[in-house]
């Protein structure tokens, strides 16, 4: 999952990114400025936005309004020192999904972020089950065929990303865009490497493969029988 | 100092006072005019009778003198009834020519009267009021004489004025009663009329009463006010504008203060927590980081306490109410949540509820929990070990509810007692962390209580220990306090 954090306090932003990236699911982009943040939020498809309210340039609510006006349903968590009731109500009314006051507990932030992402994919259960594949998004463990795997961060991230969209075709570009922060390399064969690794670990002898390839289009995660054109 | 009269009363008194003067003047003029007419008529009849008598006096000549000739029936007229007419005819030498039977002597006034012009006199005869005329006149000359000699005579004629007086008296009564009735009707009519007329003023007062800090952006629509009230409405609007600005300044200050205090704390806390998550497992490092986190937590708690104290003293109580049953539920929740803490010092918390009035209370659940938690926690932390804490919820003397938190612990020292509710006041002069918190709890609790229109006080328990008394106003009391009369 790719997250955008718009926070003008440099150290705080760095600490939040550090904390979020202890979770294998997340790659985090940071903007320290409201105008940059708004631009990035509108041009890149993020899986979640974390917005501070008091920002130089555009303030958090303006960014939120712009994002919602563009039709995006990306989950938004507002993180701010302004916790007066009116501010909270206003933030939620403008279209945010959650609100956390500063100073906050890092554990609480991580839990809320994960919950927001789960909810945005309509998967309220922290354990994602697709067929006989189980992904525990809380402990970041994967189980299939009775075997439990602790995957390296990026393999887990890729698998989780596909698992939140079972049966949907996801292009390589989309995967690249959502698995990395802005430092991502544009070499697309790194995806194939991860997919092969996942197949090696999770595919079961005799059963259809977990991750299918659609030539020229992308990848699909499904435990059903493959459709035409799936490899 | 006595309260000034209400506008209505003032107007009514003014109108009725003026009317009283007018009515009095009017009644007086009617009275005098009518009296004048009645008197003139009476006097006219006296004159006529006196002159008629004068014409009956004949000068019989030097030998026989003057004679009064009238018939017996006429004579009896003067002896009829208990207030008969009276007459005296005097000759030129003041000798009585004739007089009515009822008169035993010539009244002095006749003798003293002016010889030249007719005079009218009031007097009392045989206990009755009379009015008479003393008429200088001339006797009729002998028929066959020449009209040369005309003997001067004085005719006195008087009639009872009892009827006249009765009429006058009746007139006075009538006028008085009419005036009283008019005034009475006017008072009633003005009371009603002023109430209706002053209705816009009451409406203005009611509108003003509904404005409070939550809706300071409301203004009076001046066009809808009567022209007399427009200056008042304009002043109100200006006042509201100034208040709104002041509140905005305060709100902004609080928001800014919050931001400035919380942001560095957030950076610190997140830094320590991120390091704990990502970093080294050496026990010493984890311990150091854990301690930093504790200190940051303490700062955070202090910061939140100060901010909530500022909020409680600056912002008005919200427009909510709590039924007494919910109040009790909130208190019991607090007691439940603090039982583990109590258990660590072998103390106990008991909640007792007396019969309570049904009226909704001016307080909300959050404030209730904060205040009660603060009071109970203080008792547990400062009272010593094995303390019995009791929270008693009972009806207040007037409307409203009283919550008393009593304990049988160490009590409050004489040195601390006078400054107990001050910010940062603590029993321990060294302010050692081990013996307590920052000293803001009671200041916040009292500010919260007062924000909702209640009070928080302390009195020494009997025997020893503490007794905190928190009074909560009933909602209608609170509303009455802020409504204009």
Per residue in B320-377, pLDDT (tens digit) is: 788 888 999 999 999 999 999 899 989 999 999 999 888 888 888 888 999 999 999 9
Measured CA to CA, the distance from residue B158 to residue B128 in angstroms comes to 12
In B, minimum Cα distance to A53 occurs at: B259
Q: Are A57 and A35 in contact (CB under 8 A)?
A: yes
In the prediction, which pLDDT does B483 show? 39
How many residues would you count in chain B? 485
Q: Is the pLDDT of residue B479 over 90?
A: no
Q: Does ipTM come in above 0.90?
A: no
Output the CA–CA distances (angstroms, integers) from residue B482 to B358, B470, B485, in the order listed.
22, 21, 9
> Could you tell me if B265 lies within 8 Å of chain A, comparing CB atoms?
yes
> Could you tell me if B255 lies within 8 Å of chain A, comparing CB atoms?
yes
| d(CA A205, nearest CA chain B) in Å | 38
Q: Exposed e or buried b for every residue in B335-351, given b needs 16+ CB within 10 A?
A: beebeeebeeeebebeb
Chain A residues in contact with B296 (beta carbon < 8 A): 103
> Could you tell me if B302 lies within 8 Å of chain A, comparing CB atoms?
no
DSSP state of B398: S
Query: From the list B255, B266, B277, which residue is nearest A103 (CB)?
Result: B266
**Better-scored residue on pLDDT, B465 or B58:** B465
Q: Is the pLDDT of residue B482 over 50?
A: no
> Could you tell me if B278 lies within 8 Å of chain A, comparing CB atoms?
yes
Is A11 close to B267, i.e. CB distance below 8 A?
yes
Give the range among B45-54, B88-97, B390-399, B462-471 with minimum mean pLDDT.
B88-97
Is A102 close to B262, i.e. CB distance below 8 A?
yes
In the prediction, which pLDDT does B64 show? 61
In the prediction, which pLDDT does B24 show? 92
| d(CA B260, nearest CA chain A) in Å | 8
**Better-scored residue on pLDDT, B294 or B106:** B294
Measured CA to CA, the distance from residue B322 to residue B362 in angstroms comes to 7
Is A12 close to B277, i.e. CB distance below 8 A?
no
**Better-scored residue on pLDDT, B210 or B484:** B210
Query: From the list B255, B269, B278, which residue is nearest A103 (CB)?
Result: B269
Query: From the list B261, B263, B274, which residue is nearest A106 (CB)?
Result: B274
**SS3 call for B94:** coil
Is B274 close to A54, i.e. CB distance below 8 A?
no
> Could you tell me if B269 lies within 8 Å of chain A, comparing CB atoms?
yes
Task: Give the β-pairing of A133-136 and A127-130.
Answer: antiparallel
Query: From the list A87, A103, A105, which residue is nearest B262 (CB)?
Result: A103
Chain A residues in contact with B265 (beta carbon < 8 A): 102-103
Is A104 close to B258, i.e. CB distance below 8 A?
no
Is B266 close to A12, i.e. CB distance below 8 A?
yes
Query: From the list A9, A19, A84, which residue is nearest B273 (CB)?
Result: A19
> Could you tell me if B263 lies within 8 Å of chain A, comparing CB atoms?
yes
Query: From the list B258, B265, B278, which residue is nearest A18 (CB)?
Result: B278
pLDDT, mean of residues B80-103: 78
Give the range among A23-32, A98-107, B65-74, B397-406 with minimum mean pLDDT.
B65-74
Q: Which of B269, B274, B303 to mutate to test the interface with A (most CBs of A within 10 A)?
A: B274
Is A16 close to B267, i.e. CB distance below 8 A?
no
Per residue in A134-192, pLDDT (tens digit) is: 999 888 999 987 889 889 998 999 999 999 999 899 998 888 888 888 766 666 678 88
pLDDT tens, N- to C-terminus, chain A (231 residues): 899 999 998 889 999 999 999 999 899 999 999 999 999 999 999 999 999 988 888 889 999 999 999 999 999 999 988 777 788 898 899 999 999 998 999 999 999 999 999 899 888 888 998 888 999 988 899 998 788 988 999 899 999 999 999 989 999 888 888 888 876 666 667 888 899 999 988 887 777 788 888 888 889 998 877 777 777
Torsion of CA A101, A102, A108, A112, to 10 degrees: 50
Which pairs from B200-207 meet CB under 8 Å and 24+ separation? B200/B225, B200/B226, B200/B229, B201/B7, B201/B229, B204/B229, B204/B232, B204/B233, B205/B484, B205/B485, B206/B484
In the prediction, which pLDDT does B181 show? 93
Query: From the list B261, B271, B277, which residue is nearest A22 (CB)?
Result: B277
Q: Is the pLDDT of residue B385 over 70?
A: yes
Task: Give the β-pairing of A127-130 and B119-125.
Answer: unpaired
Is A107 close to B273, i.e. CB distance below 8 A?
yes
Q: Is the pLDDT of residue B177 over 80?
A: yes
Per residue in B187-219, pLDDT (tens digit) is: 899 888 888 888 888 888 888 888 776 677 888
Measured CA to CA, the distance from residue B265 to residue B484 in angstroms comes to 46
Is B254 close to A19, i.e. CB distance below 8 A?
no
Give the range among B28-32, B47-51, B170-174 with minimum mean pLDDT.
B47-51
Instruction: Record the pTM.
Output: 0.57
Chain A residues in contact with B266 (beta carbon < 8 A): 9, 12, 81, 102-104
Q: Is the pLDDT of residue B315 over 70?
A: no
Query: From the list B251, B259, B265, which residue is nearest A54 (CB)?
Result: B259
Measured CA to CA, the distance from residue B258 to residue A81 in angstroms comes to 6
φ/ψ of B96, rounded to 5, equals: -70, 125
In B, minimum Cα distance to A52 occurs at: B263
In the prediction, which pLDDT does A184 show? 66
Measured CA to CA, the distance from residue B186 to residue B207 in angstroms comes to 31
In the prediction, which pLDDT does B220 show? 84
Percent of chain B with pLDDT over 70: 89
pLDDT, mean of residues B441-468: 87
**SS3 call for B336:** helix
Chain B residues in contact with A100 (beta carbon < 8 A): none
In the prediction, which pLDDT does B318 show? 58
The strand ranges marked E within B396-434 are 401-407
Chain B residues in contact with A82 (beta carbon < 8 A): 255, 258-259
Percent of chain B with pLDDT over 90: 24
Residues in contact with A118: Cβ distance below 8 Å, sequence separation at least 6, in sequence order: A124, A125, A126, A137
Q: Which of A103, A104, A105, A153 to mutate to test the interface with B (most CBs of B within 10 A)?
A: A103
pLDDT, mean of residues B124-144: 81
Q: Are A136 and A127 in contact (CB under 8 A)?
A: yes
Of B230, B183, B201, whose CA–CA distance to B8 is shortest?
B201
| d(CA A3, nearest CA chain B) in Å | 17
Which of A131-135, B4-8, B283-287 is modeled with the greatest confidence? A131-135
φ/ψ of B440, rounded to 5, equals: -105, -15
Give the range among B25-39, B86-100, B348-362, B438-452 with minimum mean pLDDT.
B86-100
> Could you tell me if B183 lies within 8 Å of chain A, comparing CB atoms?
no
| d(CA A145, nearest CA chain B) in Å | 32
Of A23, A25, A26, whose CA–CA distance to A3 is shortest?
A26
Both tokens of B2, joined, read: 């006595």
């Amino acid at each position: 999952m790719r997250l955008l954090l718009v926070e003008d306090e440099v150290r705080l932003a760095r600490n939040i990114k550090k904390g979020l990236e202890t979770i294998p699911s997340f790659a985090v982009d940071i903007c320290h400025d409201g105008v940059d943040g708004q631009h990035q939020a509108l041009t890149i498809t993020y899986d979640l936005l974390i917005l501070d309210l008091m920002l130089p340039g555009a303030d958090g609510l303006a960014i939120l309004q712009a994002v919602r006006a563009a039709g995006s349903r990306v989950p938004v968590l507002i993180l701010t020192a302004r916790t007066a009731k009116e501010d909270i109500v206003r933030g939620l009314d403008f279209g945010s999904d959650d609100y956390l006051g500063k100073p906050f507990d890092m554990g609480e932030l991580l839990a809320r972020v994960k919950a927001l992402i789960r909810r945005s994919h309509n998967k309220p259960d922290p354990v994602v089950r697709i067929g006989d594949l189980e992904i525990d998004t809380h402990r970041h463990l994967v189980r299939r065929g009775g075997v439990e795997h602790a995957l390296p961060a990026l393999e887990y991230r890729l698998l989780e990303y596909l698992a939140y969209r079972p049966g949907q075709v996801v292009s390589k570009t989309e995967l690249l865009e959502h698995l990395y922060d802005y430092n991502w390399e544009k070499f697309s064969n790194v995806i194939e490497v991860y997919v092969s690794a996942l197949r090696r670990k999770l595919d079961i002898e005799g059963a259809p493969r977990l991750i299918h390839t659609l030539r020229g289009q992308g990848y699909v995660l499904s435990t059903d029988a493959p459709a035409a054109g799936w490899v | 100092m006595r309260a000034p009269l209400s506008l209505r009363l003032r107007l009514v008194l003014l109108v009725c006072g003026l009317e009283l003067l007018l009515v009095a003047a009017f009644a007086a003029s009617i009275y005098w005019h009518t009296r004048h007419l009645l008197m003139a008529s009476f006097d006219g009849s006296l004159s006529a009778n006196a002159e008629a008598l004068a014409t009956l006096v004949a000068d019989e000549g030097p030998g026989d003198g003057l004679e009064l000739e009238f018939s017996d029936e006429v004579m009896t007229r003067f002896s009829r009834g208990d207030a008969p007419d009276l007459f005296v005819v005097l000759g030129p030498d003041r000798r009585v020519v004739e007089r009515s039977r009822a008169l035993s002597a010539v009244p002095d006034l006749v003798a003293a009267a002016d010889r030249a012009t007719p005079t009218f006199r009031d007097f009392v005869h045989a206990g009755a009021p009379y009015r008479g005329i003393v008429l200088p006149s001339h006797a009729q000359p002998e028929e066959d004489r020449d009209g040369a000699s005309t003997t001067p005579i004085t005719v006195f004629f008087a009639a009872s004025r009892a009827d006249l007086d009765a009429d006058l008296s009746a007139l006075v009564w009538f006028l008085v009663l009419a005036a009283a009735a008019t005034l009475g009707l006017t008072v009633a009519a003005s009371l009603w009329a002023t109430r209706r007329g002053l209705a816009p003023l009451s409406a203005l007062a009611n509108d003003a009463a509904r404005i409070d800090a939550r809706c300071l952006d409301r203004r009076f629509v001046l066009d809808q006010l009567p022209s007399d009230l427009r200056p008042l409405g304009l002043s109100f609007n200006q006042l509201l504008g100034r208040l709104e600005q002041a509140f905005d300044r305060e709100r902004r200050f609080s928001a800014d203060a919050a931001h400035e205090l919380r942001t560095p704390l957030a950076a610190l806390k997140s830094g320590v927590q991120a390091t704990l998550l990502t970093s080294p497992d050496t026990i010493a490092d984890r311990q150091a980081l854990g301690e930093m986190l504790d200190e940051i937590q303490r700062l955070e708690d202090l910061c939140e306490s100060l901010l909530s104290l500022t909020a409680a003293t600056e912002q008005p109580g919200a427009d909510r109410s709590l039924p007494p049953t919910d109040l009790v539920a909130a208190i019991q929740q607090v007691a439940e949540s603090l039982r583990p803490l109590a258990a660590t010092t072998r103390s106990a918390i008991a909640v007792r509820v007396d019969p309570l009035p049904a009226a909704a209370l001016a307080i909300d659940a959050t404030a209730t929990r904060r205040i009660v938690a603060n009071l109970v926690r203080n008792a547990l932390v400062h009272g010593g070990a094995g303390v019995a804490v009791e929270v008693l919820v009972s009806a207040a003397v007037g409307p409203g509810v009283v919550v008393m938190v009593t304990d049988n612990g160490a009590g409050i020292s004489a040195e601390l007692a006078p400054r107990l509710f001050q910010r940062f006041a603590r029993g321990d002069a060294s302010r050692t962390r081990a013996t307590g918190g920052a000293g803001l709890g009671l200041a916040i609790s009292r500010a919260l209580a007062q924000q909702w229109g209640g009070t928080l006080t302390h009195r020494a328990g009997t025997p020893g220990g503490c007794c905190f008394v928190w009074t909560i106003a009933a909602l209608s009391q609170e509303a009455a306090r802020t409504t204009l009369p």
